[in-house]
Chain A
């Protein structure tokens, strides 16, 4: 099972979603309250602020097999901690350059900025991201090996 996008149906992208406690995570929880569906490959890591997400965490996620990584935080100019999301965007931009140099499609790393009640948008973004990743195929950073 390689990186073929055509492996229809069996590839379920794993997305590590770093969500901030003030906007990203509440949006995700509200999506749940409203039963708005999105794919089960989306795994949420709650942090206090999107600005807490270091480049090393993003790269580690890819190293450990994530097919996509997304940082979800407050809207720009509305970060609960003032400038955290700006820092996060800068760091994501930097890591995308590193990904390109490594040979990973930089679309695998993205950010999304929303306020705390955007439940529909949260699910929408996850659905879109997973669909895009299905098109890109499994991350070549961790090719499938035989299980021991």
Chain B
């Protein structure tokens, strides 16, 4: 049984094309500090001893951050991240679940959102100065960042309440009134990457219904994880294409900048940019954020040493891969950011912000002056730069 499943996975992800060149291993952020780990070794193990149960009990299956730098470097385009996701889904079917950060608190919440008959309070962030509507052509996906603010309330600088407001402020400035819905639920990204496909399916049904009710033809995300999950995983789980287009806010912003719809005031800041893997490598959106930054007068933009498709992962995905090596990886990442001389590192992904800021607030094994660069939200930065 395991053998068949593994064979199918290998086929679907082109894992058989692997020529053992080792290019993936050299760029893998996990391997950097965990010498025993290699993306391709997992495939090899799977082929040599095809037992899902044995593979599921190995740490290696859960330690991969699914950042996709391996696939992006692979000359044969083997989809390692999909292979791992598939294996994780099979493990979940066997009842094997990983130890997660927060003990699975957030995963529990996502499953409740999918199964329960609840009236959420998802739109508390909407204030009278923001214009939203129950129906419209463009739907803004609020996402779950507000829950993260609560869970991490004892950490400094981790408050995502401002992100949806900032997004809508920008859209309103460009003359767009987005639709939002209180019936929206979590996109399901974390359930997907810990193998809970049933949980994901329940959330998909609810989100599709909520968005359909608004009549939207375009769904815009600030969160890269939501973007990727809707674009790639929703159609993969369902039978048909999505009845709407899925786009990232940076793409819209870049358009509006070109059309002169967004006016910025002088904002003196030296910033660098972190290409979140779900936005960059997974979805191929690299240029639009840079175009937006270049349009803000006074902003000095400096690239990270490893940028775009080579951008170094923040270390954690789905709350499942965090461990001792992650900490070391995060130190490397922050050192790199600090070396740019920028005052802040901007990114869209709320998870990257959580993981990197969390690392900064820990006890650290290096001199704090080498790494203490704040990681802040891109959307909020742009909204603050808008001309009043």
A and B: interacting chains: yes
Could you list which residues of chain A lie within 8 angstroms of chain B, going by C-beta atoms? 2-3, 54-57, 59-60, 62-63, 94, 97-98, 100-104, 139-143
A139 / chain B contacts, CB cutoff of 8 Å:
116
If over half of B's interface residues share one DSSP class (helix, strand or loop), that class is named, otherwise mixed; here it is helix
B120 within 8 A of A: yes
Out of A60, A97, A142, which one reaches B115, CB within 8 Å? Answer: A142
Could you list which residues of chain B lie within 8 angstroms of chain A, going by C-beta atoms? 102-105, 108-109, 111-113, 115-122, 124, 146-147, 150-151, 153
Decide: A94 and B151 in contact? CB cutoff 8 A: yes
If over half of A's interface residues share one DSSP class (helix, strand or loop), that class is named, otherwise mixed; here it is helix
Decide: A63 and B103 in contact? CB cutoff 8 A: no
Out of A57, A98, A142, A143, which one reaches B109, CB within 8 Å? Answer: A98
Decide: A141 and B151 in contact? CB cutoff 8 A: no
B151 / chain A contacts, CB cutoff of 8 Å:
55, 94, 98
Report if A143-B117 is in contact (Cβ < 8 Å); known contacts: A55-B103, A56-B102.
yes
A143 / chain B contacts, CB cutoff of 8 Å:
115-117
Decide: A141 and B103 in contact? CB cutoff 8 A: no
Give the distance to chain A from B150, nearest Cβ to Cβ, in Å.
5
Decide: B116 and A140 in contact? CB cutoff 8 A: yes
Decide: B118 and A97 in contact? CB cutoff 8 A: no
Pairs A–B under 8 Å by Cβ, sample size 25:
A55-B151, A56-B104, A56-B105, A59-B109, A59-B112, A63-B111, A94-B151, A94-B153, A98-B147, A98-B150, A100-B121, A101-B147, A102-B118, A102-B120, A103-B119, A103-B121, A104-B116, A140-B116, A140-B117, A140-B118, A141-B112, A141-B115, A142-B115, A142-B116, A143-B115
- The residue of chain A having its C-beta at the shortest distance from the C-beta of B113 within the complex is A102
Give the distance to chain B from A62, nearest Cβ to Cβ, in Å.
7
Give the distance to chain B from A143, nearest Cβ to Cβ, in Å.
5
Give the distance to chain B from A146, nearest Cβ to Cβ, in Å.
14
Give the distance to chain B from A94, nearest Cβ to Cβ, in Å.
6
How far is A54 from B118 in the complex, measured between Cα atoms in Å? 23
Give the distance to chain B from A100, nearest Cβ to Cβ, in Å.
6
Give the distance to chain A from B293, nearest Cβ to Cβ, in Å.
32
How far is A104 from B116 in the complex, measured between Cα atoms in Å? 10
- The residue of chain A having its C-beta at the shortest distance from the C-beta of B144 within the complex is A101
Out of A97, A98, A100, A103, which one reaches B116, CB within 8 Å? Answer: A103
How far is A51 from B68 in the complex, measured between Cα atoms in Å? 39
What 14 additional pairs, Cβ within 8 angstroms, besides A98-B150, A103-B121, A142-B115? A2-B117, A56-B103, A56-B105, A56-B108, A62-B112, A97-B150, A100-B121, A101-B147, A102-B109, A102-B112, A102-B113, A102-B120, A104-B112, A140-B117
Decide: A94 and B150 in contact? CB cutoff 8 A: yes
B115 / chain A contacts, CB cutoff of 8 Å:
141-143
Give the distance to chain B from A95, nearest Cβ to Cβ, in Å.
8
Give the distance to chain A from B200, nearest Cβ to Cβ, in Å.
15
